[in-house]
Structure 1
Amino acid sequence: MHHLLPRLVAFVLAAVVTGALASIVQTQFNLASLLAFGAPVTTALRGLTTMEDLARFGPVMAGIAAVALLPAFAVAHVVGRVVHARWHKGLLMLAGLCGMAVAFWLMASVIPMPPLFAIRRLPGFVSMSFTGVVGGLVYAAVRARSRSRSNGPGWAGTLATAGAILLVPVVAFIVMAPPRGVPPAPADPATYQVQTVATGLERPWSVAFLPDGRILVTEIRGRLRVVGSNGALSEIALDGMPAGFHEGGVAGLMEVMPDPDFAQNRWLYLTMSYGVAGANGTRLIRATLDGDRIKDVRILFNGTLKTRAGNNGGRMAFLPDGTLALTVGDGNLQREAAQSTHDHQGTVVRIDREGRAPADNPFVHVTGALPEIYSLGHRNAQGIAVDPDTGDLLISEHGPRGGDEINQIVAGGNYGWPIVTGGIDYPFPRVTPFRRLEGYLNAQLEWTPSIAPAGLAVYTGALFPQWRGDLLVPALKERSVRRVIRREGRIVGQELLLADLKLRMRDVKVAPDGSVYVLTDGADARLLRLVPS
């Protein structure tokens, strides 16, 4: 115990210093990326953002450093027993470097959460890893000082010192933690009742209605199900479908949508992930439904390949002019691509029913631009709908930690991601200090904290006349459906539907009879129907 307590203080201080330094390095690389886009990052703003990250992300980074440095220093101590004492400091510095490098490699390669911005490229990865060298140096210096003092502070004083060192980042994180938010009130349960249409669905993603009354449901692992009038499930044979890419609940078969003229042409549109783990993208196909199978499969669109699964977008809607809009996510790791017209990631694309870019798309005549792009600067839009009263195209999109949005899409519009957002990164550093900026379009509505909006519908039915024109948004994280109340196109309030079920909500669609169908999420999901009480 007498020998371990000084090491404890040295280790705690080394972890805190390493975390603080890594936070500062991360912020500088992140701000440099914004400067490359021409964002007005002044010296004062740089300093303010660095301090904010230091207070909120620094403590998180100190925890990561502690986990990384503990085994690294332990190995260094073992090796130090068999080598010359003069090499001990160097061993600890090397151990700190290796420990942090391994931690950042795991964050970038194994952990499914999008990694820190700085470690996505080699210069940032190396710079962040070298913060461990400073941690090793601090650890060695404090240990050497404690050994040189004949009378230490005793175990009580040592623990108090370690506690005081830890208190600073803990208090800083508590003070700077993101707001928890207060959800809106639940809707009056007397205004609607919930019917269970089907159960036993396996990770469903989308629901659609056919003119003959059949209901289609996609499952992300590659099945297209049919829900009968009695809730019985059957399956559409996907003959001729190109090979897809599947990974957990984030990549696979996504949206299904019948053509507006389905009664005549029998066309279905489906979105799916394609490619392999390190090079996958979002694909749109068209097929003809023939009884309980599809035929005449045709690939209409292949999105730019990305290096990680997830953030696929994949939602579709037909515009009033008969063209088709499709959302494409930013792909997690390449979020800067959302600002490029040379990449489909982070965009809404617009094509005709044959997969061609219409001649009036905003970037058709821009040299080097991809002609399908209709708008850009999106993160991961998993909801899309057209307001039939106005013709407006609306999307709901996931932010990171906060910054979920509803946007009204205009041709050629730039919606800011990742230069403008109300959200922060998952490990708590700033994505950007800008919530609004000239030249970028503002969201109609923003949710911070996140609700994880996974779909979008405009209510136009007759069963709920008080809902007409309102938006319905299924939320995965919040486990509800949000009714976004609008009056004359303006958002005036919100309320929660189905919150009492405490289920993740994946999709919502308004049926031809005006009832509302909701897909829950997960391995044993349900298809629900909302009707008036």
Structure 2
Amino acid sequence: MNRPTRMRTTLASFLIALLIGVVSGTLVQTQINLLALQNLGVVIDLQTRIASSFHDLGNFSPVYAVLFGGSFVASQAVALLFTRFTAAIWRTFWCTFGAALGLWLTFKVVDMFAPMPVLIASTRTVGGMLSMLAAAAVSGLVFAKLSKPGKAVGMPALALLLGVGLALPQGDAIAQGSKPYKIETVVEGLESPWSMAFLPDGRALITEKPGRLRLLGTDGKLQAKPLSGVPQVFYSGQAGLFDVLPATDFAQSQQIFLSYACGNRSANHTCVSSATLGANGLESVKEIFRSQMAKSGSAHFGGRLVWLPDNTLVITLGDGYSYREEAQNLSNHLGKIVRINADGSVPKNNPFVGKPGAKPEIYSYGHRNVQGLAYDAATKQLISHEHGPRGGDEVNVITPGINYGWPKATYGIDYSGAQISPYNEYEGTQQPAIYWVPSIAPSGITVYNGDMFPQWKGSLLVGALKAKQVSRVVLKGNKAAEVDVLFKEVGERIRDIRTGPDGAIYLLTDNADGRVLRVSAQ
């Protein structure tokens, strides 16, 4: 075989093996993800399995082609180099082993830099990782066999490969109407502020994710030094100091409650502590809740706090990202909303008290990462919102004991484009009041009850990180509709939103140089 013919054969062999690797890897990860759902009791019939596979071939495979393609080019080039210095019988070994090793290294490098713990969900377990690597190894084997000297590969196969195209989604534009408000900066220079809470005397407390609690005076000036006595915080990625909530009797007790990530990267929790606000810092700090089980990584902690009228404390939690199936497991707190008394004890009327194997603190379950929580005194509804992955952000009206679906049912897909569940709805789970596709990344929510903007009274105002906006949502019963998009002109990630005692709306921007903004009537 002459040199040009050999080069064409090698190229065609490589492209065929690459296609096999992308398709087989895509199908393998689909089946692994469906198996995880089946282990939760989700029924996956053949038609649904086939539809999920085709979905991922169209949506996950382009992402996977980039990852696997890069690793396959490098691994097979190295394998062919090794073949030159070893016996010809080692060619198949080097190509096969190299394809698997190259993909494993690629996964590790990508996961180091991706914002989520793992980009490809099927690699969360040892079995899933080995299955993906086995699919890659098959591609290496195919390449070794097809590109073996003396083999001829038909050019029609090469033409078929080059004919594959990708379609890119188009974004939607949001029009802005007239603005019956003005926006002013109250405070700037905050490091990743996460939450804000007003005290009865007009002061406000602000948390900064690295673990600092700041005091804002009635004059609008930030106290120079952070308050001392804040519990030790695990600060990494999404982990840090989260919400601050004054006690219902704060004027008498001076008691506040803090939520935060505690532990370390390999074993961490969402914790809540109570403390007394002294002249210069926190006193009598006491941990009253620590989520179980311990998880690794630094993603999906939840962390919002709110009081119910009976003076019980509601805490939102996340699923830990890599542990999403645990949101359906009542033996731990991951992916749950919990309810405790102010001293950390469990209310006797919690829905799972006395249920064997269930954590008694659980109030609702099947959540992903709940970062918005509010109680509407007018309608007597507890309202939350949670992050979806790519799409599927939700607002939910919380009813004790109800399953809100994650990950059995979701309107979102994984960041890789892979399908998480073939179902938007599933028997035994509650549908959201409203959901967003594409994702707005909601964070912070307030039921506007001020007098400054009477046209918005009773509306939910939902902050958004990715969309850099506030959505005004009108809720009727368990159904909601987005009626306005507000404050796009700020152009910053909105981490928290509060109704101030003066009737103004206060926004926290999520930046290394974060701000407190006051929205008032024109």
Compute the TM-score of the two structures, normalised by the length of structure 2: 0.94
The CA distance in 2 between the partners of 1:109 and 1:497, in whole Å, is 36
Q: Which residue of 1 aligns with 2:131?
A: 127
Matched-pair contact (CA < 8 Å) for 2:383–2:397: yes
Q: CA deviation at 1:482?
A: 1.1
Aligned positions of 1:433-452 closer than 5 A: 433-452=422-441
The CA distance in 1 between the partners of 2:482 and 2:131, in whole Å, is 47
Q: 1:337 to 1:436 in 2, by over 3 A?
A: same
Cα offsets for 1:193-222 (capped at 9, x unmatched)? 111111111110001111121121110001
The CA distance in 2 between the partners of 1:469 and 1:335, in whole Å, is 33
Matched-pair contact (CA < 8 Å) for 1:224–1:236: no
Q: CA deviation at 1:166?
A: 4.0
Cα offsets for 1:112-132 (capped at 9, x unmatched)? 324223211111111110111
The CA distance in 2 between the partners of 1:478 and 1:279, in whole Å, is 32
2:254 pairs with 1:266: yes
Q: Which residue of 2 aligns with 1:287?
A: 275
Q: Which residue of 2 aligns with 1:167?
A: 163
2:425 pairs with 1:423: no
2:324 pairs with 1:320: no
Q: Which residue of 1 aligns with 2:501?
A: 512
The CA distance in 2 between the partners of 1:118 and 1:495, in whole Å, is 38
Q: Which amino acid aligns with 1:528?
A: L
The partner residue of 1:196 within 173, 185, 192 is 185
Q: CA deviation at 1:415?
A: 0.3
Aligned positions of 1:239-388 closer than 5 A: 239-248=228-237, 250-304=238-292, 305-388=294-377
2:519 is paired with a residue of what secondary structure? Answer: strand
Matched-pair contact (CA < 8 Å) for 2:213–2:230: no
Matched-pair contact (CA < 8 Å) for 2:72–2:99: yes
2:122 pairs with 1:118: yes
Q: Which amino acid aligns with 1:256?
A: V
Matched-pair contact (CA < 8 Å) for 2:210–2:233: no
Q: 1:365 to 1:166 in 2, by over 3 A?
A: farther
The partner residue of 1:35 within 33, 38, 44 is 38
Compute the TM-score of the two structures, normalised by the length of structure 1: 0.92
Q: Which residue of 2 aligns with 1:82?
A: 85
Matched-pair contact (CA < 8 Å) for 1:206–1:254: yes
The CA distance in 1 between the partners of 2:213 and 2:192, in whole Å, is 12
Q: 1:235 to 1:335 in 2, by over 3 A?
A: farther
The partner residue of 2:59 within 56, 61, 64 is 56
Equivalent residue pairs, number: 517
Percent identical pairs in the alignment equals 39
The CA distance in 2 between the partners of 1:493 and 1:99, in whole Å, is 46
2:458 pairs with 1:455: no
- Alpha carbon RMSD of aligned pairs, Å? 2.1
Q: CA deviation at 1:32?
A: 1.2
The CA distance in 2 between the partners of 1:129 and 1:261, in whole Å, is 58
Q: Which amino acid aligns with 1:36?
A: N
Q: CA deviation at 1:344?
A: 0.6
The CA distance in 1 between the partners of 2:253 and 2:170, in whole Å, is 49
2:69 pairs with 1:66: yes
Q: Structure 2 unaligned segments of length 5 or more: list them.
A: none
1:165 is paired with a residue of what secondary structure? Answer: helix
Q: CA deviation at 1:4?
A: 5.0
Q: 1:120 to 1:492 in 2, by over 3 A?
A: closer
2:377 pairs with 1:393: no
Q: Which residue of 2 aligns with 1:141?
A: 145
2:176 pairs with 1:186: yes
Deviates more, 1:2-11 or 1:303-312: 2-11
Q: Which amino acid aligns with 1:325?
A: V
1:455 is paired with a residue of what secondary structure? Answer: strand
Matched-pair contact (CA < 8 Å) for 1:184–1:494: no
The partner residue of 1:45 within 44, 48, 59 is 48
Cα offsets for 1:18-39 (capped at 9, x unmatched)? 1110111111111111112221
The CA distance in 2 between the partners of 1:487 and 1:371, in whole Å, is 30
